[in-house]
Amino acid sequence: MSLTAEQANALLDSITTKEQLRDLINQLDINSGGSTTVLYSGNTVNGLDNFQILQGMLHNGDDIRVIDNTEAAKFLNVTPGDPNRNDVLEEKLQQIFGDDPNERNSRSNQFLFGERTADGTRFPNGAWDNISARFVDATVGEVRTLTGGASVNGVFNQTELPRLLNNPNITSVDGLPLSDLQRLGPAAAFQAISAQSDNLSGYIKVAIDADGRIIHLPDGVPRLDSRQYFGLTGVEGKPPLVDTGRYGSFDRFIPERRSGHVDGARLVQEIKDGYQSASRLLGPESGAARANALRVLGKMGVAADLLSLATMVHDANAAYARGDTSAGNTIVQDWTSRYLGGLMGGLMEAQAVGSLLTPLYMDGPAGAIFASILTLAAGVEGTFLGSHYLGDVLNKIFDQLHRLGQVSEQALHDWITHMSDAFHRLSGQLHKDSDAFMTLLHDLFGYQRDVRDPLVLDL
């Protein structure tokens, strides 16, 4: 029979060695309510601890299964300042090890969180590794993670991920099918999950005050809205209990993480490409494969396409930065022809074009161009330009970039700045004057306002 935290505390009087304490921890209950398991490690993209984000979700009533709600986690909680901390366990740790469990690298701290070598390398042999492994072993169905800032030396990578990959009862992690993650292997799976998780966490909205600062609950937990975060991958999030009226989205990537996520983002795109191909198979003999592919694509959601877009923008900007305009244009045009239609369909279904693309405005010339055009295209008097029209617009834009790039780097920079500023200004006026969209294109590219031009729509 599994023990509650209270029952385990009652048995601590008889514990005198670390081996006995470890045996007691093995008996703690790791069950938790909630329909969808959420694992976390590290910080969010803006530096908030993912534990705080998780608590914000629980405060709103999101139906999630988390380790923090288990009796095992309640027993191991010796966090300073936490009103629910287990003082009885802390006293026992001090008695057995003779030091402070909250002092990093102390013997009792390493008992809880894993031993460390002199260079900081962690061994996955802590008490938290123990209960985390058991928690993942008991997991069934879908898993979501907040692991974009997770360390390779952390509990998620060293303990939870291997258990995830070996649990046949798990179907997917952050929308990525378990079978594909198993095929990648632990190291590449960590990259893919980390990239997808950081991308998804950018769609969590936090309440902000008039000065742009995050509004916290009295216990330090941020007020947040997780509906879009869960909605992108098919899980229903709850609205905030208190609506402050103003919410802002996390940026998807902080600069120092960008290069670390590029490889993971490519892996996510490769997974999605495989299911896209399967979804197009013809004939009754392929019915099961098509159905499975469509189910997986629905779980991956538009987030995977946005991650692909972010990767393309990263590569294109790198090419422009080294002066290789032709390579940058090719990267953009290749991506446009392969993925633009699917991205636009997902954005429209999510009904959140502007907020999902906002981070791209700050992401160099390619990001500003794409964010501006896609936002405009989705907002023209309630209609949107199909992928054929958008592809034509983008091809002409980057043809223009190519010509300007042959003139001078300064001319290229000036043109990009002019175009981005114009799109920013137009975004706020679009619904007032939809005809301004075509006027702007005419001004930028010298288009003739001809009804035979595929860019001229009946607006």
State how far the Cα of 54 lies from the Cα of 392, in Å rounded to an integer. Answer: 43
DSSP 358: G
Domain ranges of the chain: 5-249, 255-445
Buried b / exposed e along 220-230 (16+ C-beta atoms within 10 A): ebbbbbbbbbb
At 120, list the tokens: 């900081």
Residue with tokens 């060293």: 158
Neighbouring CB atoms inside 10 A of 5's CB total 21
Lowest mean pLDDT, pick from 237-246, 392-401, 420-429: 420-429
Q: For 51-66, how does the pLDDT look when each residue is reduced to its tens digit (9 = 90+)?
A: 989 999 999 989 899 9
State how far the Cα of 248 lies from the Cα of 268, in Å rounded to an integer. Answer: 26
Cβ neighbours of residue 441 closer than 8 Å, sequence gap 6 or more = 393, 447, 455
Q: For 374-386, how does the pLDDT look when each residue is reduced to its tens digit (9 = 90+)?
A: 554 444 333 334 4
pLDDT of residue 301: 66
Cβ neighbours of residue 397 closer than 8 Å, sequence gap 6 or more = 369, 373, 419, 445
Whether pLDDT at 396 is above 60: no
Q: How large is the greatest C-alpha to C-alpha distance in the chain, in angstroms?
A: 88
Whether pLDDT at 146 is above 60: yes
State how far the Cα of 373 lies from the Cα of 393, in Å rounded to an integer. Answer: 9
Residue with tokens 């809205």: 225
pLDDT grade, residue 285 (50/70/90)?
confident
pLDDT of residue 155: 97
State how far the Cα of 169 lies from the Cα of 63, in Å rounded to an integer. Answer: 19
pLDDT grade, residue 231 (50/70/90)?
confident
pLDDT grade, residue 366 (50/70/90)?
low
CA-based nearest residue to 232, from 311, 294, 298: 298
pLDDT of residue 347: 55
Q: For 295-317, how does the pLDDT look when each residue is reduced to its tens digit (9 = 90+)?
A: 777 677 666 777 777 777 778 77
State how far the Cα of 240 lies from the Cα of 222, in Å rounded to an integer. Answer: 11
State how far the Cα of 264 lies from the Cα of 232, in Å rounded to an integer. Answer: 19
State how far the Cα of 172 lies from the Cα of 39, in Å rounded to an integer. Answer: 13
pLDDT of residue 97: 96
- Please say whether the dihedral angle defined by the alpha carbons of residues 192, 194, 200 and 203, taken in this order, is positive or negative: negative
**What single string gives the DSSP state of each residue in 100-161?**
-TTSTT-HHHHHHH--B-TT-PBPS-SHHHHHHHHHHHT--EEEEEE-TT--TTSHIIIIIH
Mean pLDDT computed over every residue of the chain? 76
Q: What is the arithmetic mean of pLDDT over 37-63?
A: 87
Lowest mean pLDDT, pick from 173-177, 281-285, 431-435: 431-435
State how far the Cα of 347 lies from the Cα of 232, in Å rounded to an integer. Answer: 10
Task: Give percent of the chain above pLDDT 90.
Answer: 35
Neighbouring CB atoms inside 10 A of 92's CB total 20
Backbone angles phi, psi at 29, to 5 degrees: -70, 130
pLDDT of residue 35: 86
* Helix/strand/coil percent split, the chain, to 5: 60, 10, 30
pLDDT grade, residue 276 (50/70/90)?
confident
Q: Which helix (H) or strand (E) holds 225?
A: strand 224-225
- Whole-structure pTM value: 0.76
CA-based nearest residue to 232, from 350, 56, 147: 350
pLDDT of residue 457: 32
Whether pLDDT at 281 is above 60: yes
**Cα-based distances in Å from 454 to 332, 339, 389, 447:** 21, 20, 7, 11
